[in-house]
Amino acid sequence: MPLLNTLTRLACAFTLLSASASQAQVTSVGMRQIQSNGMTITLVYPTAAVAQDVTYGAFTVPIASNAAPLPADSTAASGKRALIVLSHGTAGSALPEHTLAATLARAGFVVAQPEHRGDNWQDFSKAGPESWKTRPQDVSETIDAVARDPALAALVDTRRVGVHGMSAGGVTGLVLAGAQWRMLNLIQHCAQNLDEDIGFCLNGLATQPSVQLLRKSQFAMGRMLTETTAPTRFKTLHGGASPSASADPRPDPRVVAVSLAVPVGAILTPESLARIRIPVALSTSGDDGVLLPRFHSQHVLKHCTNCTTLSDHPQAGHFDWLSPWPASIAQTVAATQMRGGLPKPEFTVADRQKAFDQIAVFFQQQLSQP
C-alpha cells in the first residue's frame, strides 16, 4: 500500500506538471464566432497570433480576433485537440465566462460557447424550465457545428467531449450526464422552501413585486400536489435518455466528462442522479444566496456517486464564478436578484483562477483517456 500511495502521488504530480507545461506553451488565445441555425457560438482556442485587448460593450478581453487555431502537438493521443462546451447561466453569454474559456484554451482545449436559444443576454423569454428542456440539444448542435467548421474539423476531436455548466448551465451539464428533472420537483421544492431558497424560487424578480405575488400563490397551491393528484405534465421526466438502470442514461454519448459551478440541483430526481456513470466535478460556493448549496450542490453530491467536489469555497457567492464581470453589469444583475447577487470580495481573483486551473486539470485527466 505505501508503494501504491507513492505511485498515486507521483501520477498526480506528473499530471499537474503536464498541465502547467501545456499552459506555458500556449501564450495567446484566439476568438471568433460561428452560427448554427441562428444560434451564436463563440469559439475560444489556442493560437500563435498575438493577442490584444478588444472591447465589447462593458467587457474587455485579451484575444487574437479571428486568428488561426494551433493544431495539437505530436504528443496528443488522438492527434487532435479536445473540445469543451461551456453552458452559461440564465440570460448569460460567452463574455462573462471568458476567463475560464481562456484558461481552458491555454491548457490546450478548444472551447465552444453557445448562446442558448431563448435564454441569453439578448433574449431570455424562455429562461427557466422551457430553456432547461432545450439547452442539452443546443450543446449537441454545438458539437456538430464544430465538427463541420472548416478551420476546426481536422483539428478537434468531437468523439470525446467535455461540458462545463454554471448555474442554469448546471442543468445542461447534468442532463447530458444522464440526470432528469420534473416540474413537480420544482413546485414541491419551492412550496416547501420558498423563504429559504427564495433566490432560486423567485429568481430575477426583485424588481417585479406583482410577479412575485403570482409566483408565491402558485407555489402555495403546489403544496396540495402529490404524485397522485399532480397533472401528468408536472410528472413528465425531462432530460436523460432512459430510466433503465442498465442503459446508458446520456442523451449524447459524446459527452464523457462534466464540470459544474454552483449548479441548479433541486429539480433533479435522486434516481436519475444515481444513474450517472461519467465523472462529474463540482466547484461550489458556500455563501451562495442565489442557489443555496444544501438544496442544490449538496443535493447533487448526495445522490450522484460519480459526482465529486473539485473545489469548495466557503466565502464565495454565486456570481463570483463570472469573469470578467464589470462592476456596472454586476450591479445591474444584482438588483434583479432576491438575494445574494453581489460578488464577494473575500473570493479573490487568485482564488478564482486556482479553481479554473483545477477545472482545466480535471478535463485534461478525463479527456486524455482513450
Mapping DSSP to helix (H, G, I), strand (E, B) and coil, where does residue 353 land? helix
Map out the domains of the chain as residue ranges: 29-180+245-367, 182-236
Do 153 and 211 touch, CB atoms closer than 8 A?
A: no
- Separation CA 73–CA 22 (nearest Å): 10
Evaluate if residue 3 carries a pLDDT over 60. no
Confidence of residue 17 (pLDDT cuts 50, 70, 90): very low
CB 191 within 8 A of CB 226: no
- Our measurement of the distance from residue 55's CA atom to the centroid of its chain's CA atoms, rounded to an integer in Å, reads 24
pLDDT per position as a tens digit, 36-51:
999 999 999 999 999 9
Pairing outcome for strands 255-261 and 52-56:
unpaired
Residue 291: which region, alpha, beta or left (left: phi > 0; alpha: psi -120 to 50)? beta
| Predicted confidence (pLDDT) per residue in 271-293, tens digit | 999 999 999 999 999 999 999 99
Peptide bond into 253 cis (omega under 30): no
**pLDDT given for residue 23 in this prediction:** 41
Asked if pLDDT for residue 8 goes beyond 60, the answer is no
Instruction: Give pLDDT tens digits for 79-125.
Output: 899 999 999 999 999 999 999 999 999 999 999 999 999 999 999 99
| Residue 182, pLDDT score | 97
CB atoms within 10 A of CB 51: 18
Q: What is the CATH number of domain 29-180+245-367?
A: 3.40.50.1820
Of the pLDDT bands very low, low, confident and very high (cuts 50, 70, 90), residue 26 is: low
In the chain, where do the E strands start and end?
28-36, 39-47, 52-56, 59-65, 81-87, 110-114, 156-166, 255-261, 280-285, 307-313
Which are the contacts of 21, defined by CB distance < 8 A and separation ≥ 6? Answer: none
The larger pLDDT score, comparing residue 340 to residue 2, is at 340
Reduced to 3 states (helix: H, G, I; strand: E, B; else coil), residue 279 is coil
Q: Assign 5 a pLDDT band (cuts: 50, 70, 90).
A: very low
The yes-or-no verdict on residue 1 having pLDDT over 60 is no
- Summarised one tens digit per residue, pLDDT across range 314-368 is 999 999 999 999 999 999 999 999 999 999 999 999 999 999 999 999 999 999 8
Could you tell me how many residues make up the chain? 370
Cell numbers at 243, concatenated: 430510466
> Is residue 7 over pLDDT 90?
no
Using CA atoms, how far apart are residues 277 and 307, in angstroms rounded to an integer?
A: 9
Mean of all residue pLDDT scores within the chain:
91
Task: Quickly state the pLDDT bin for 13 (edges 50, 70, 90).
Answer: very low
Predicted pLDDT at 370 = 64
Q: Answer whether residue 369 shows pLDDT above 70.
A: no
Locate cell 434583479: which residue?
336
